[in-house]
């Protein structure tokens, strides 16, 4: 059988009962380095053009990255030209240090330095693989052999830098495939490189520990980071960096636990583009910090720009469920989620602040922080409920409904959703509301009325279509019902009545909602008007008109599927 788990071995797990990292809490952002233009680029079907790289570089700068790996200049002419363009066209802000990657090969290191001529500051990142597989099968060498490649590479990097003192150099070394390297081997190689560069004597040095391939659970990675830090010489003078991939889907978790284990810096890409399943996603990790009230020291508020840019240059679409960025991640279709979101949003005291923090069920952050709108938080289909329908009416139409009417109207929406099998958007909900509640039945428009109160009684005279209605009652509503009952000889009672003043963005000032009952039948109707009394009268008259129309249709065997009887 091809599908046979016995082909695989578990990754080694370190016995480390003295581990400290589980007790740590992340309280500040790490130093970030965006590697989209190098690791992201090298994984693409079509590597980026110089123009595309410039567009992405500018987006990264807007996000606030201070360290950006801009390429592998010895790899290809476009990579080289891009680095030259950045330097010659003075596109690198003072706040930003560019970083470039090279293998530990002298001719590639020489070409790398050539690309950096004239840069005010730069990080030269040299790597060689130290893993057992690569030692044995790729380099066909032993530990001493990979250590010698690393040391020679480190020396070569330092020698070139010494020839260009006009540039402020930082050196970075990666024991590539660190996760496949025995820890004592990784420490031996890393310490040999540190010995060459001497960070304690003032040379800025970054030691980057890559999960080139993610092979174990994030806790195992964190153990290995903590172990390396313990065994690293000149640790106080070294910036420990992490570069995780997402092969097991835990790239972000591994980086987070690695930071708890003592790492200072994290490399990754926007939205996680990169080799195979991708690099650690900077958006997710930074937003995870943000959602805990920690300043991520990046500005990701223009998420639309980030997504558009990344999609344009990578030709990879963003998954609708992508953490913080996907189209659907702030959207609830299910009724109980919608109801909770709506209630929490209504209770959330504005403005949200440290004193009154964000506290909304199902929404770990305020969607507006990333340029999203509350309107899109709730979308309606057959899984939705009355709370969701009400949210849409409140947000899109600017009206609210009493509970009894929410229940009645949401049944109409549910029926439409079941019939369509898909989403019922806000304009369709508004249309359904008009159709089932707000539209005045033909011939039942109130064109004029007079109301007089005398001796505790209200007398109403109203022009309804071609009818002249006269009625008496304790109040306006009962007077109208009285008049209508006399006119048509049909008795009905008002079961519910509510009236609301409307929000500023609606044309009318009042919304009246009514439910009348005749025997087993209930009818709902609403009316909007600037005059609150007119809204009340029209709502009752409309309900009455629907009742009469239905009765007539039933009598003539012409049922109208669109009526609002519930």
Residues forming contacts to ligand ACO in the complex (CB under 6 A) are 39, 42, 72, 74-76, 103-105, 108, 127-128, 138-139, 149, 176, 212
Q: Is 391 labeled as ligand-binding? A: no
Which of ligand ACO, ligand KIV, none is residue 374 near (CB under 5 to 8 Å by kind)?
A: none
Residue window 366-395: x/- pattern of binding to ligand KIV, with contact defined by CB under 6 A: ------------------------------
Residue from 505, 506, 492 nearest 535 by CA: 506
Binding mask 91-130 for ligand KIV (x = CB under 6 A): ----------x-------------------------x---
Distance of closest approach, residue 257 Cβ to ligand ACO, in angstroms: 21
Report what 128 binds from ligand KIV, ligand ACO, none; CB cut-off 5-8 Å by kind: ligand ACO
- Identity of the residue, 42 or 233, whose beta carbon is nearer to ligand ACO in the bound complex: 42
What's the closest the beta carbon of residue 71 comes to ligand ACO, in angstroms? 9
Compute the least distance from the CB of residue 391 to ligand KIV, in Å: 44
Does the annotation list 563 as a binding residue?
Answer: no
- Say if residue 243 carries a ligand binding annotation: yes
Closest C-alpha among 153, 163, 169 to residue 107: 153
Q: Does 39 bind ligand KIV (CB under 6 A)?
A: yes
229/175 Cα distance (integer angstroms): 14
Least separation in angstroms between residue 369's CB and ligand KIV is 31
In the set 135, 147, 160, 243, which binds ligand KIV (CB under 6 A)?
243
Residue 499 makes CB contacts below 8 A (sequence gap 6+) with 510, 511, 512, 513, 532, 535, 536
Distance (Å, whole) CA 499 – CA 482: 20
**Residue ranges with strand state E in 212-310:** 238-244, 265-268
208 binds, among ligand ACO, ligand KIV, none (CB under 5 to 8 A by kind): ligand KIV
Tally the C-alpha atoms within 13 A of residue 131's C-alpha that lie toward its C-beta: 17
User: In angstroms, rounded to a whole number, what is the distance separating the alpha carbons of residues 103 and 154?
Assistant: 11
245 is in an annotated binding site: yes
CA distance 245 to 276: 9
Nearer to ligand ACO, 82 or 409 (CB): 82
The string of DSSP codes covering 316-380 is: -PPPTTSTTTSTTTT-B-SHHHHHHHHHHHHHSPSSP-SSS---BTTBSS-GGGGT--GGGGB-B
| 170 contact partners, CB below 8 Å, separation of at least 6 | 97, 121, 122, 123, 124, 204, 205, 206
Listed in sequence order, the residues at least 6 apart from 421 whose beta carbon sits closer than 8 Å to its beta carbon are: 382
504: Cα separation from own chain's centroid: 30
Q: Which is nearer to ligand ACO, 72 or 169 (CB)?
A: 72
Dihedrals φ, ψ of 397, to 5°?
A: -105, -20
Segment 163 to 202, residues that bind ligand KIV, using CB under 6 A: 174, 176
**Nearest residue (CB) to ligand ACO, 105 versus 521:** 105
Size of the site for ligand KIV (CB under 6 A): 10
Q: Which is nearer to ligand ACO, 39 or 67 (CB)?
A: 39
Tell me if 268 sits within 8 A of 255, measured CB to CB.
Answer: yes
Question: Using the rule CB under 6 A, is 262 a contact of ligand KIV?
Answer: no
Q: Binding-site residues for Mg(2+), please?
A: 39, 243, 245, 279
Q: Binding-site residues, please?
A: 39, 243, 245, 279
Binding site for ligand KIV (CB under 6 A): 39, 101, 127, 174, 176, 208, 210, 212, 243, 245
């Amino acid at each position: 059988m091809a599908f046979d788990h016995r082909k695989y071995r578990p990754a080694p797990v370190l016995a480390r009962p003295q581990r400290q990292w589980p007790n740590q809490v992340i309280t500040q952002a790490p130093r970030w380095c965006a590697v989209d233009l190098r690791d992201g680029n090298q994984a693409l079907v079509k590597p980026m053009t110089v123009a595309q790289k410039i567009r992405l570089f500018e987006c990264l700068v807007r996000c606030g990255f201070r360290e950006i790996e801009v390429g592998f200049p010895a790899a290809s002419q476009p990579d080289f030209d891009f680095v030259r363009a950045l330097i010659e066209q003075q596109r690198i802000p003072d706040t930003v240090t560019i970083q470039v990657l090279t293998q530990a090969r002298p001719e590639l290191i020489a070409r790398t330095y050539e690309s950096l001529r004239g840069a005010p500051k730069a990080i030269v990142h040299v790597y060689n693989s130290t893993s057992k597989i690569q030692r044995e099968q790729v380099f066909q060498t032993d530990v001493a052999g990979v250590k010698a490649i690393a040391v020679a590479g480190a020396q070569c990097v330092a020698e070139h830098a010494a020839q260009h003192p006009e540039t402020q150099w930082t050196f970075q070394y990666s024991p590539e495939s660190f996760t496949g390297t025995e820890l004592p081997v990784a420490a031996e190689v890393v310490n040999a490189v540190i010995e060459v560069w001497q960070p304690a004597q003032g040379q800025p040095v970054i030691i980057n520990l890559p999960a080139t391939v993610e092979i174990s659970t994030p806790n195992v990675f964190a153990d290995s980071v903590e172990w390396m830090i313990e065994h690293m010489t000149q640790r106080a003078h070294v910036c420990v960096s992490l570069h995780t991939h997402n092969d097991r889907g835990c790239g972000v978790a591994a980086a987070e636990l690695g930071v708890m284990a003592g790492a200072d810096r994290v490399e990754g890409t926007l939205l996680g583009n990169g080799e195979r399943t991708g690099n650690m996603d900077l958006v997710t990790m930074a937003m995870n910090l943000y959602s805990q009230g920690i300043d991520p020291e990046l500005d990701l508020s223009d998420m639309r720009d980030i997504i558009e840019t990344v999609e344009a240059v990578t030709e990879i679409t963003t998954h609708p469920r992508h953490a913080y960025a996907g189209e659907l991640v702030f959207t609830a279709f299910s009724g109980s989620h919608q109801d909770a979101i709506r209630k929490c949003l209504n209770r959330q005291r504005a403005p949200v602040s440290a004193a009154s923090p964000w506290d909304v069920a199902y929404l770990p952050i305020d969607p507006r922080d990333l340029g999203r709108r509350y309107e899109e938080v709730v979308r309606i289909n057959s899984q939705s409920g009355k709370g969701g329908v009400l949210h849409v009416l409140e947000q899109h139409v600017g009206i609210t409904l009493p509970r009894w009417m929410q229940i009645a109207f949401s049944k109409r929406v549910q029926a439409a959703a079941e019939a369509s099998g898909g989403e019922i958007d806000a304009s369709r909900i508004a249309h359904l509301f008009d159709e089932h509640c707000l539209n005045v039945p033909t011939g039942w428009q109130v064109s004029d009325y007079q109301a007089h109160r005398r001796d505790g009684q209200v007398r109403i005279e109203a022009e309804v279509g071609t009818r002249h209605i006269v009625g008496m009652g304790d109040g306006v509503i009962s007077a109208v019902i009285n008049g209508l009952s006399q006119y048509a000889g049909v008795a009905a009672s008002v079961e519910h009545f509510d009236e609301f003043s409307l929000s500023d963005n609606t044309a009318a000032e009042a919304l009246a909602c009514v439910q009348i009952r005749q025997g087993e039948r209930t009818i709902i109707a609403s009316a909007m008007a600037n005059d609150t009394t007119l809204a009340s009268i029209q709502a009752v008259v409309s309900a009455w008109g629907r009742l009469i129309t239905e009765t007539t249709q039933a009598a003539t065997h012409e049922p109208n599927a669109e009526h609002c009887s519930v």
